[in-house]
Amino acid sequence: METPTPTPTPAVRRTSARMRLLAAADELFYENGINLVGIDRVIEHAGVAKASLYDCFGSKEELIRAYLKGRADKRQARISERIAGLKTPQEKILSVFDLLAEVVNRTDYRGCAFQRASAEAGVSIVIKGTCEESRAWLRSLFTELAQAAQAADPELLARQLVFLYDGAALAASVDADRHAPQAARALAAQMLPRP
């Protein structure tokens, strides 16, 4: 006799709906922008009921926040993994630009999700705040690495590195300049103190 398949508990269904909504949001928002994609399209793409969106996130703005947070977490993990095996802070800083070069040369690259969302956010403090959190993490990482490299002014160097990073991501998207991260890396290398 076959054992009947247990009915998923509400928590399991909610988690499943949440993950499907986040996956749909990640795909649709990144491909088309946060303003162009409506809630109904995300719900249809995720294959969930409309009530699931409000049960899991409460609003489109909170879904966007969760989408951006997920992207930030993945980027932080990629960068942390990349720099973990490197010895000098200079190597670590330059490897962030190497990783950006890999990202912008993917066929699915549509630009920096945080730059795009921030530009589309209008007056949304939640969305702009989430984008700024991601930028603050990168700035903090560059500041720590600049301090470890014994830069004369670590905070200034970190700000300059963020400018280079942002500019390279933007040029890769807007100008289709897939070599922008390498140019930014070359400039960063000139700015770094010698090990």
**Per-residue pLDDT tens for 27-58?**
999 999 999 999 999 999 999 999 999 999 99
Per-residue pLDDT band for 15 (boundaries 50, 70, 90) equals low
Show me where the domains of the chain are located. 8-58, 60-191
Determine whether domain 8-58 maps to CATH 1.10.10.60: yes
- Helix H segments across 33-153? 39-46, 50-56, 60-84, 89-104, 113-120, 125-148
Whether this model's pTM surpasses 0.75: yes
pLDDT of 5: 46
Matching residue, tokens 């890999």 = 102
- The terminus-to-terminus CA distance of the chain in angstroms comes to 70
In tens, the pLDDT along 60-109 reads 999 999 999 999 999 999 999 999 999 999 999 999 999 999 999 999 99
Among 173, 143, 171, 170, CA closest to 156: 143
Per-residue pLDDT band for 3 (boundaries 50, 70, 90) equals very low
Q: What is the mean pLDDT of the chain?
A: 91
The fold adopted by the segment(s) 60-191 is Tetracycline Repressor; domain 2 (1.10.357)
In tens, the pLDDT along 134-184 reads 999 999 999 999 999 999 999 999 999 999 999 999 999 999 999 999 999
